[in-house]
Structure formats: C-alpha cells, structure tokens
Amino acid sequence: MTRRRLPIGIQTFREIRERDCYYVDKTAYIQRLLDEGKHYFLSRPRRFGKSLFLDTCKELFEGSEALFEGLAIHDDWDWSVRHPVVRLSFGSGNFKEPGHVERRLMEQLAAIERRATIAPEYSTAPGRLASLLEALHEQTGQPVAVLIDEYDKPILDALDTPEVARANRDFLRGLYAVVKDADAHISFSFITGVSKFSKVSLFSGLNNLIDITLDPRYSAICGYTETDLDAVFAPELPGLDRDEIRDWYNGYGWLGEEKVYNPFDILLLFDKRKFGAWWFETGTPAFLVETLFKRRVSSLDLDGMVGSDDLLSTFDVDDIATEALLFQTGYLTIRDAEDLGGEMFYRLGYPNREVRQSLNRSLLRYLVRDPSRQTANSIRLYRLLEAADFEGLKTLFQAFYASIPYEWYTNNDIARYEGYYASVFYSYFAGLGLDVRVEDSTSHGRLDMAVRFDGAVYLFEFKVVEMAGEGAAMAQLKEKRYADKYRGSGEPIHLIAVEFSKDARNVVAFEVERA
C-alpha cells in the first residue's frame, strides 16, 4: 500500500478527499442513521472526529458525489437530490463573556442567509433560525439537514462563572427547541458535543431526539478500530510495536464489541514516530483536577468507579456527577456493563496508559505546585526502584509530602484521610507509567497497592496512625498473605508497610521485608 497524507488537524471532509489523505470510512453509519430515525444526539470526548463526521454529512446532503467515490454510501445514495444544510458550530468564541453565545449564533445565521440570498425576518435567534429553516425548504423544495457541532461548549467554557453558564444554557435550550418545532422543514438533524446534558435542562422540548452515545451499534462512529489500523493505516505501522500502540492509546469503549483509538493520538504517533500524550496535552483539565480535590476523590478510586445510566447522564451547571464528568470528558471509559434488576451499571476505568499517566501527573502538579521538584522526585523514584534502594525510597517518599505547600493543608481537610496519603504514592507511580494496581483482590482480602517493575513485585499497605512504630500495616500484609497471589511469577516480592501521621503530614514509619 502507498503512504498517504496524514490528516492531522483537518476537520474538512472535502480537503481530506481531494488531498488524498488517509480516511476511515464512516459513511455506513450515516446510512444507518437515515434508515432508522431522524433526530440524533452523540456525545464523545474532544478530538474524536465529531466535526469531521458532521462535515461528511454536510457534503453528502449537498450532493458532492465525487468526494464519495469508493465509499460505503456511494451506491445507495440518490445523488440527483440536494438538500439545503444549516450547520452551526460553537467551537470557537469567548463564551465566558455574557451574551457572546447569541452574537456568535447570529453571525453564523447571517452567513447562511447571505449565501442563500434570504433576508432575515426576526431579531431573536430562535425566531431567525425557524424562519431560515422554513425559507430554505420553500426555496429548494427539499427539507433541511441541521447539523450542530459542539452544542455544549458555551456552557462548559463558563462553568467557573455559573451565572454565565446558566444564561448560556437557557439561551441554547430555546434554540434547540426550534429543531422540534420546525420538524416539518427538517430531513435530518445531528447534534454533537463532549457532554451529555440532561434532557430536562437542555433538550426538554426535543423528546424525539435519539441519543446514540451508548448504542453499541454506533460505538465506533468516531475513533479508529484495530481493523481500521490494519486496513487503512497499514503503510504507517512498520517500525512501531502494535502492543505498545494498544497500551498507549487503545481502550475507549461505548458498549461496542471493539475498543477504539483516539484519532488525534494515532495520527500524531504516525507523524512523529514516537509515543507521547498527544491528546491529553491539547487540553488542560484544570477544572477537572480542582473538582476531584474539592470532592475528596482519591486517585486510587478513579480506576474502578461505578456508574449507572442515570448517573452518567447527570450533567448540568449545578449538578455534575464526578463519574459523568470523568466519563464524558474521556478520562475514564466503560470497562464492563451489568444489568441489575433492569438497570444498567457500568464499571469505569482509565482507557489507556496515556490518560492514566498524564492525569496522575496533573494531580501531582496541583498538589506540589513546583513542576521542577515534581519532575526531580519522579526521576529519583525511578532510579531508586531500579536499584531496589529502600532506604532511599523512604527518604524520597518523605520528600513527596514535604514538597506539598503548607497552605494546601490549611484550606483542605482531605489530609485527615488515609486515601489522600496513598493517592500521592499512587500518582507518582502511575505518573511514571508503571504497572500499578490498587485495591487488588486476593482470597484473603484487598491489598492497597501492588507495583510490578523491573522483574520485581512491591506490595504496599498504608495506615494513618496516632503513634509511629505500631506495625499494623506490616502485620496486615503478613496475616492476609497478600504475597501468595504473586508467588507463581517467580519474581522477588517485597512487602512495604507505610505509616502516616496526620499531625506530621508525612511518612513516620517505613518497613520493608522480603516475602
């Protein structure tokens, strides 16, 4: 196969096809959507190809046949019919500024009216959109395709100023109600975004909107599958380890049989020929990290959270469930699903190494507030593990907590909890990309943390104590016989008991024994 251009950052279907870029054919999904319904909603994390999918829909409805040669939908589409398209996007703009969302929409409506030579008749945004849909239908004789991209960004961008976020939400609610009221003038509508706001808060009027976010039939509507990598990107694979590609970037799941890759990661990997946190680095999860700390969510609890259908859909300005926030933004994904009494429950976890490693580094950065010191600690941790220098590890662990500013404790009572101390340990190990397991179940109980590194196993038990030296943590490691589960590997096993003092806010005892 011949190598093609990598469509990095290109969200325009026409440009991808005309410049002979790699393209993963998603048009069969469009055909299925049209066969089975009319109004659709899809939530996916950022940079998953939502905008490209909408642009593909736009070109299809406008009848750009040459662009679809060789694609799944080409022979099943009536190219003699062309539909008008209203495509709106809230991908750019300063939505923290009051009233900006309405101005941004008016600009887009004006541009569509100008191209169609239609004079605006209403001064309000909902009225103007409704009038435009009716006029386009009358002008062309065909109902309109309505495509709305990043429908939720005006709300998400303003979450730190709730009064603006609420105003933006209320404005958008009125706008999206037009889609239902103008149903007679619409042939197809598709709304996409990162989050899934409850229908009550944003789509109260759109009770005919079909949500395909967790529909297994559409789990790969955005993103790349293993099959896509083999079939489309085969020329780029030589020289790269497939297992390493999977470890770094695969793992996103929306109940389909196959997990998917984030396209942005894969394209950057093929371009740079090295592994990195390409997707994670394009967005700063400051709001997410701050929310996790405010809610006392330990990093140990992230990989294994459980959420119901309702919980994963609970997203509004004043009501954002932690599980929904992490899932919808792409920092956690669905690992398993279980039907209990007619209600679905989902076990969530990190999708891959990129997210696990990068998110834990961000959590540490929030704590330490000194990136240089944090980096130095991480490098030192790796070197000490290589040398199995346990005395050095104790000193380093004490340095971890000493590097957290005193002011952080004065504003937070989270430091009273055992999970806080253990989470700092975990985030340092996970931030290095090591094989770390927390709350690992054995036949005798649940181990706090297990680390496999360089042919050895390290089993950790953490305790917050009033007095140092009581030995409760080491006693538990032995009594529960946690090491038994790991003996079959033949690797050396080290039991590490760590005791913390909430008064000293640091490690006060650190025992190590060979199991």
Q: Is 182 helix (H, G, I), strand (E, B) or coil?
A: coil
Mean pLDDT of 486-506: 88
25-218 and 369-514 share one fold: no
The H-assigned helical ranges of 388-494 are: 390-402, 406-410, 418-431, 472-479
Distance CA 178, CA 39 (A): 12
Domain range annotation of the chain: 25-218, 284-349, 369-514
Say yes or no to pLDDT of 370 above 60: yes
Mean pLDDT of 106-114: 96
Distance CA 450, CA 434 (A): 10
pLDDT interval class at 196 (50, 70, 90) = confident
pLDDT tens-digit series, residues 381-412: 999 999 999 999 999 988 888 877 765 555 55
Q: Is 439 helix (H, G, I), strand (E, B) or coil?
A: strand
CATH architecture type of domain 369-514: 3-Layer(aba) Sandwich (3.40)
pLDDT tens-digit series, residues 1-10: 789 999 999 9
pLDDT interval class at 180 (50, 70, 90) = confident
Strands, E assignment, 113-241: 144-149, 186-193, 210-211
Closest CA to 44 of 330, 356, 351, 285: 330
pLDDT interval class at 422 (50, 70, 90) = confident
Write the DSSP assignment of 296-360 as a string of letters. Answer: T--HHHHTT-EEEHHHHT-EETTEE-HHHHHHHTTSSEEEEEEEETTEEEEEEE--SHHHHHHHH
pLDDT at 407 (0 to 100): 59
Segment among 113-127, 172-186, 412-426 with least mean pLDDT: 412-426
Quick one: how far is CA 183 from the chain centroid?
Answer: 32
Mean pLDDT of 107-120: 95
Q: Which CATH class is domain 25-218?
A: alpha beta
Cα Rg, the chain, nearest whole Å: 26
Query: Residues 235-253, buried b or exposed e (16+ Cβ, 10 A)?
Result: ebeeeeeeeebbebbbbbb
DSSP 214: T
**Location of structure tokens 């100008």:** 114
pLDDT tens-digit series, residues 289-332: 888 888 888 888 898 899 898 888 777 787 788 999 899 999 99
pLDDT at 418 (0 to 100): 62
Averaged pLDDT score across all residues of the chain = 90
pLDDT interval class at 284 (50, 70, 90) = low
